[in-house]
Structure 1
Amino acid sequence: MMTRKIALSWMLLGSLLLAQKVTQIKFEGLAHLSPTVAKEVAGVHIGDTIDSELLDESVKNFFDQGYFEDVWVEQKGGTLIYHFNEKRAIAKVIVNGYGDDGKKLLESAGIKKGDLYDEMRIERAKKTMQKALEAKGNYDSVVEVTTKPVGKNAVAVTFDVNKGEKIKIKKLNFIGAKALDKSDLESDLVNKEEDTLGFIPFFFDNGEVKVDQLEYDAYRLKETYMKHGYIDAEVSKPLMRVDYSSYSAEVDYKINEGKQYKVGKVSIAQSIPGLKMEDLVSDLDLHSGRVFNITKMRKDIKMLENKAGDLGYAYAKVTPNMHKDPEKGTVDIQYIITPGQKVTIGDVLISGNNETKDRVIRRYIYLAPGDLYNATDLKESKNALQRTGFFEKVDIQSQRVSEDKINLLVKVKETQTGTISAGGGYGSYEGFMVNASISDRNLFGSGINSTFGVEWSKVSQNFNLSFVNPRVWDSLYSMGLSLYKKKYDYNYDQTDGYTIDQLGGSLNVGREFWRHFYASVGVGYVDNQSEYSDEYLQNLNSISSQFYNDQYKKMSGFASLKFDNTDDYLLPREGFIASVNGEFSQMDGDITQENRDRGYTDFASFTKINARFGAFYGMEDLIDYDLILRFKARYTKIISGDDQYIPIGERLFMGGVGSVRGYNPYSLSPDVIGQGGIPGYPGSRIGGTERESISLEANIPLSDAAKMRLSAFYDIGRISTDAIRRTPNSNVDFHDPSQSYYGDSLVRSSTGAVIEWQSPFGAINLIFAYAINPDEYDDTATFEFSMGNQF
């Protein structure tokens, strides 16, 4: 027994004597971590006693980093050698079988180039993709993964997607629904029945199931009932029954409608100085006697919070207390306003502007350090920044510094303001037409707008150069300078005709009055050297010489007034644009003898009035879809004395972008047809003295990723002219439209679609138009494109 104890003691003493201390640490196969960081991760230090527990914990630490497929330790005396087999990097990720949406599907999976390849992570990504496909209504979807080595330490991963079949809703059953029509119940749902014309995108429902939205559709149905006063309505979760033989489904909702309520008494409990109770009540949408509407109540809550916010209460809260009377079918509403403390602005902090100077951004922020907080000023500051066209995105957030002070965090994402743009089209008369310009709305980040443009076709050559500083020395004053050269050759059957040749320029100054009103005045000069060939005069039997064969100089004064409260430069969703411009001109030159014989005494001293109006309304808050409705109207009129002559270069024409699309630019005009004039022939176009047009548009998203939208439009315009005098020996009665004019009051309309693309080169509009009521002599255009913003 004693012998065994002695032997055991010697064994324990030997193990202690044999215990090793760490004298050196080495790493082999390490790439992602530096040796210094690796030592910290290992948790082993020189001098530590080597044992299995220490080494196990050290290896576990390395695995936790996620960089390695295998890690092991080799001990040579007091030296520890760590061996690493690192995971391969993903050099490329490909999604096949899902078209342009493959990128979005990949983003949902959370796998990207540069990640480390991990089989478990790839398997999770595969399952995530399959769930995403099912959420979009794709059943029997299959995702297969293949890998291919790229070099020694990288791999390419390919996801092959078989989308399966789409389940389409053939019928929605609203069990228990009696008070509301099926169309009302279905209007706000994401999952709807398939329309007869469901194969036509954007305008009709294709019935495809969005599984991830089914549960939320029950809440949308509840919301619909509450919009119609059914406060107690109960809606079950949807039950979808799928027929896999036809990949069709029926969806059932069980509904207990309850009673419809009308609004009883409406009151507001508040004690904020400056808030007049009668004004607040009159601004409410929900009034006594009306059917209760949850959407209008939320709008009223927001309005009351903004009213309090306009008085400095940035964190005002409005709580609605509702008291139902089931017997009367009424609900009383009391809005309780809890204002909190008044808040002042501590500082305005700007970020995200790499090019635009801070001082330029501050011009459009209506709140400054020390100012009392104002909710309306905050909203309009954001709109003003977006109207500049300098930024793709503007976000203004409040940062609470103390109970009574906040900072404004102005975060902007700049957009491309300097562009090289091009556009063009084709017409039977002008042939190929191209235009190009170099412009920058924000030159060197200073806010100055500069443009150099060229338009060219076989009959026209136009050049323009302009500079506009909207805030001279950061003041409310603006200044603009423009120069242009315009030449347009009218000819017929390769016979020389007349040529409009003008050189001009203008200088104007303006000022911002109030918040959305702008006024400006200016002066302009035009040198018109239009010519009319003898051969052309002879061919037309001199009937049209009265309009073109004059040269003159023109001095003009300008005055304009503009209102603009839209919320964006390129894509407004709310607000109005309205402007009126007046040009007061005096011309100097010699009119032709023929025009003197007709009774004209001199060139006209005329006034040109130009007005325009635009209204924009986004429907997303109402229908949960980014539909934008647009209404645009334009009107121009020239006023002159009865015995004064207005030359062709000053008269009005219609057609093309900005008036009636579907007709070539400048191609719509009253025509002289008496004594040799030819209808529709450019030489017979005399121009108008009054012009108006209206455009109705509906705009929807086409591709958010590509920043493309689609507009459907209808244009209609009218152009007319004053009476043209005749020579004493002429047999043509120029006051008789059947003898003297081809369309004394010319009306044309068109319809079509526009693809609007916010490209890296600027805003591009691809216009596909159809002329509804063209005359046989009209120059129509089925396709045009242009760059830049549009009114």
Structure 2
Amino acid sequence: MRFLPLAALCAPLLYAAPLPTVKNIQYEGLIHISPMIANEISKIKVGDALDVQKVDRSIIEFHKQGYFEDIWVTEESGVLTYHFIEKSTIANIEINGYGSGQEQEALYKEIGIKKGDVYDESKVERARKSIMAALEKKGFYDTVVEATTEKLSDQAIKLTLDVNKGEEIIIRKVNYNGAEKLSASKLEIPTVNKEREFMGWMWGFNDGKLKVGELEHDSFRMKDYYMKKGFLDAEVSPPSLLADFTTYDANLEFKISEGKIYEVSKVEIVLEEPVVGVEELMDEVRLTEGKRFNIEKLRKDMESMKEVVGDLGYAFVRITPDLDKDEENAKVRIVYYVQPGKKVKINDVLVSGNTRTLDRVVRREILLAPGEMYEATKVKNSKNALKRMGYFENVEIEERRVSEDSVDLLVNVKEGRTGEFMFGIGYGSYDGLLGSVSVKDKNVFGSGMTAGVYVDKSEKESAYRINLYNPRVLDSRYSLSTNVYKRDYESYDYTDRTTGFDVVGGRYLTDHLQATLGYTIAQTELVDFVNNLEEKYKPYYREGKYIKSSVIPGLSYDNTDDYYFPHNGIIASAYAEYAGAGGDEKFVKYFGKVAAYKSLEDSLDMDLILRYKARAGVIQENGYLPINEKFYLGGMSTIRGYKSSSVTPKDSNDVRIGGKYVFSNSAEVSYGLFETVQMRLTLFYDYGMIGQDGFNEIRRSSAGAAIEWVSPLGPINFVFPQALDDKPGDKTSSFEFTMGQRF
């Protein structure tokens, strides 16, 4: 860059004659700054005596703006002319050799250069270093980033950053010196940097890639893991890394002092103010006397107690644990000091982070409004409600104190992709290979409404459905959904072709309980019946087209803590279908199902979940009851080990006639196989009953095992059942699997 101070030009004149007066100021080559702004920067006015030092300072000030490659000044007859050569503008920027899609979008934001910026070598250098640092965090070292420019016009250039990724350092060995009571396989669970395993390239295995940015945190993660296992005095040193940059291999070493495993000797709660009973807080404590100390359970107990006090309006309650250790006997007395603070009301609810979703869609899920007393449970339930919507990758609700008795709720969301293309596959003992495809958007135009198209195919079935669902009509607690569907199903004894439409309105009675009222109208064509049916059952097997017009009131409840793998909670639903509001079919069907989940982790210190699932139904015949509306057992959702819909009353010619009474239930024990992979082993026992005139005319049971895995492609369930009391003629199966369903 060239600076040409006016002092150098005017030096011969300094002693020859008085300096001229500035009669006019002109700017040549100025693009990014207007003449008015330029006058403010130069601080030289028409009528001033020409001051060489002022002109020099003005050149420096112009340079600070960052727009100019060259600046010089000339003077003739009192006319002061500034000449500028501006830096080029970056019209296009391209990064080659690193990332794609969202990863590259994030990188463009991180490097600090965008289209329209003025080209600046120092900025380009910072961008190069940002890319190298980003790759180093991912385990790539000795990365080279080359920057080149291409002139597109007099003032526009294209900037290209070519990335030559460096090599990945692989951790070949990790030594946990001093670890005796916990194995290396346990200690590596909480760490990011792990020893490479055999077949480390495969998903689910440790690849051993070094993450330098996480090294200092790994020792803290390991110490926290020790404290979860009761080692209250455990110490883990920062790791020592020995890397060979010729082979890009590394060894990692931790020094560990384990200490003893502590047991809780006593738990006490000290209240600064008696705003709640100590006994009520004690009911929330799970880390009790006689149990092994666990820092994670201590934190959960603190959160549970905070919620109890917070529900009384104390948003800023502080709970401080004091651990009184008896090192000789490895006992610890836990004392919780509870400081409630003052009650507060909601001042305002502020929403941020939603670039697509409308503010009102977020606000309607917040259970607290300005002027209401603060309640911790409502804050938690609001957060869970926002998560259940499926619109956001992350949801945080922060309490910001406004005054001694008021608080703002800061709701910050990170939007995810709501448009989905999903598929699922499975294998049914009767249906054969099953497949499903759906295209939907859970947040159409940010309105909170869901629209979707669904296709299900198997060897026996073809089903198509179009759905539109509004969970909050006019931002109320009312919902509305519509479905148009078509289904062709080849059963054992007939073929069912149904086309229909339904509309369902609902209202949330509580945060978890919803009442619904639906109406369905459908045309069903039953064809291809078997010919050897007994006369008394032929009314159920009438070929032809029939209209069903039915009203369906119902209730549903869900307070589970996870979608795919609930640990605790209940999912339940019940409905009554009144067919006969016009049409040909006349019956009333009552049906309900429930699934209950209970984790035993707190009591047994094992990742065990007990599950109980039950389904029951009764049909009251009031006229024509077609065969496809009756009950059947067998398959993944009822009694595993029997082919789908194969367990049912039959006539004397072995033709299925369906049941009017049905009950099935399952007891399951599910164990988490890995702490880092969502995979579980489940043992189950299924039992079901079905009949024409009562529940227990036909009874069947089965037992078996299942592998449940939330894989990168979605949830997969492999089932290995065994029928226990099958009878001659029963259609049994020994293997089924599904993909895309919750467990």
The AA in structure 2 aligned to 1:160 is D
Q: Which amino acid aligns with 1:21?
A: T
1:147–1:790 CA distance, 2 compared to 1 (3 A)? farther
Query: Partner letter of residue 560 of structure 1?
Result: G
1:75 paired residue number: 75
Deviations 1:154-184 (A, max 9, x none): 3333333333332222222223334433333
Alpha-carbon deviation of 1:590?
A: 14
Contact 1:652 1:690 in 2 (8 A): no
Shift of 1:367: 1.6
C-alpha change, 1:698 and 1:236, in structure 2 (3 Å) is: closer
Counterpart contact for 1:345–1:370, Cα < 8 Å:
yes
Q: State which drifts further: 553-562 or 375-384.
A: 553-562
1:35 maps to: 35
> Post-superposition shift, 1:210?
0.9
1:423/1:303 CA distance change after superposition, 3 Å? closer
Question: In structure 1, what residue type is equivalent to 2:558?
Answer: D
Q: For the structure 1 residues 782 and 384, does the alpha-carbon distance in structure 2 shift closer, same or farther, using more than 3 Å as the test?
A: closer
**Percent of aligned positions with the same letter in both sequences?**
35
Cα distance 1:357–1:130, how it changes in 2: closer, same or farther (>3 A)? closer
CA distance in 1, matches of 2:459, 2:330: 75
Name the structure 1 match of 2:488. 488
1:519 aligns with 2:515: yes
The corresponding residue for 1:96 is: 96
Q: CA deviation at 1:754?
A: 7.2
Q: 1:111-141: per-residue Cα shift (whole Å, max 9, x none)?
A: 4443332223323332333333333333343
Q: Supply the AA of the counterpart residue of 1:381.
A: S
Superposition deviation, residue 518 in structure 1: 2.4
- Structural mapping, 1:119-130, within 5 Å: 119-130=121-132
Could you list the per-position Cα deviations for residues 318-355 of structure 1 after superposition, in whole angstroms to 9, with x for gaps in the alignment?
23334444444444443322332221112334566788
Q: Distance in 2 between matches of 1:12 and 1:96?
A: 55
| Counterpart-to-counterpart distance in 2, 1:672 and 1:53 | 106
User: What corresponds to 1:248 in structure 2?
Assistant: 249
CA 241–383 in structure 1, closer or farther in 2 if over 3 Å, else same: same
Contact 2:150 2:158 in 1 (8 A): yes
Say if 2:187 is the partner of 1:193: no
Quick one: distance in 2 between partners of 1:287 and 1:431?
51
Q: Structure 1 residues 322, 440: closer, same or farther in 2, change over 3 A?
A: closer
* 8 A Cα contact 1:306 1:376, kept in partner: yes
Do 2:69 and 2:85's aligned partners in 1 also have CA atoms closer than 8 Å?
Answer: yes
- Pairs within 5 Å for 1:1-20: 15=15, 18-20=18-20
TM-superposed CA distance for 1:191, in Å, is 1.1
Q: Decide whether aligned partners of structure 1 residues 91 and 698 sit closer, same or farther in structure 2, where only a CA change above 3 A counts.
A: farther
Per-residue displacement from partner, 1:633-671 (whole Å, max 9, x unpaired)? Answer: 86544445899996432145799998999x9xx976459
- Matched residue of 1:381: which SS? helix
Q: 2:163: which partner in 1?
A: 161
Native 8 Å contact 1:352 1:413 kept in 2: yes
Residue number in structure 2 paired with 1:648: 627
CA separation of 1:403 and 1:22: change in aligned 2, threshold 3 A: farther
Comparing 140-149 with 350-359, greater Cα deviation is found at: 350-359
Distance 1:294 1:431 in 2: 47
Alignment match of 1:583 (pick from 564, 576, 593): 576
Conserved 8 A contact 2:431-2:459: no
1:583 aligned partner, one-letter code: A
CA drift of 1:567 comes to 7.0
CA positional deviation for 1:307: 3.0
Cα gap change, 1:605/1:182 in structure 2, threshold over 3 Å: closer, same or farther? Answer: same
Please give the alpha-carbon distance, in whole angstroms, between the structure 2 residues aligned to 1:82 and 1:616: 79
Write out aligned runs for 1:64-463 (5 A): 64-100=64-100, 104=106, 107-201=109-203, 203-258=204-259, 260-350=261-351, 361-389=362-390, 394-411=395-412, 445=447
Q: Say which is worse superposed, 606-615 or 66-75, in terms of deviation.
A: 606-615
Q: CA deviation at 1:299?
A: 3.0
Change (3 A) 1:289 1:749: closer
**How far did 1:281 drift?**
2.8
* TM-score, normalised relative to structure 1: 0.71
* Residue 217 of structure 1: how far off its partner (Å): 1.6
Using the alignment, how far apart are the partners of 1:585 and 1:631 within structure 2? 35
> Is 2:557 the counterpart of 1:563?
yes
Counterpart secondary structure, 2:269: strand
Aligned mates of 2:180, 2:632 — CA distance in 1: 58
CA contact (8 A) 1:228 1:292 kept: yes
Give per-residue Cα distances to partners, 1:346-381, cap 9 Å, x unaligned.
233456678877666554322222221111111212
Q: Whole-Å Cα distance in 2 between the matches of residues 484 and 585 of structure 1?
A: 20
Shift of 1:578: 0.7
Shift of 1:285: 3.6
Rounded Cα–Cα distance in structure 2 between residues aligned with 1:736 and 1:514: 39
Per the TM alignment, residue 276 of structure 1 is displaced from its structure 2 partner at its CA by: 0.9
Which amino acid is the alignment partner of residue 93 of structure 2?
V
Contact 2:639 2:686 in 1 (8 A): no
Give the structure 1 partner of residue 593 of structure 2. 611
Query: Deviations for 1:285-307, whole angstroms, at most 9, x for unmatched residues?
Result: 43344444333333333333333
* Residue in 2 that maps onto 1:25: 25
Stretches of structure 1 lacking an aligned partner (at least 5 in a row): 1-10, 592-602, 620-627, 678-683, 703-708, 726-734, 738-743, 757-764
Distance change >3 Å, CA 78–CA 481, structure 1 → 2: closer
CA contact (8 A) 1:550 1:590 kept: no
Report how far residue 105 of structure 1 moved. 5.1
CA distance in 2, matches of 1:12, 1:319: 79
Match of 2:54? 54
2:595–2:614: 8 Å Cα contact kept in structure 1? no
Structure 1: which amino acid aligns with 2:144?
V
Contact 1:612 / 1:635 at 8 angstroms: preserved in 2? yes
For 1:451 and 1:14, how far apart are their aligned partners in 2? Answer: 83
Specify the SS of the correspondent of 2:191: coil
Equivalent in the alignment of 1:4: none
Name whichever of 280-289 and 480-489 sits farther off: 480-489
How far apart in 2 are the matches of 1:93 and 1:216?
35
Measured in 2, the distance between the counterparts of 1:424 and 1:271 equals: 56
**8 Å contact kept, 1:553–1:587:** no
Alpha carbons of 1:604 and 1:716: their partners in 2 closer, same or farther (altered >3 Å)?
farther
Q: Structure 2 regions of 5+ residues with no counterpart?
A: 1-10, 602-606, 723-729
Shift of 1:466: 6.8
Relative distance call for 1:654 and 1:147 in structure 2 (3 A) is farther
Task: Report the CA distance between 1:283 and its aligned residue.
Answer: 2.0
Structure 2: distance between partners of 1:355 and 1:210: 34
Q: 1:174 to 1:548 in 2, by over 3 A?
A: same
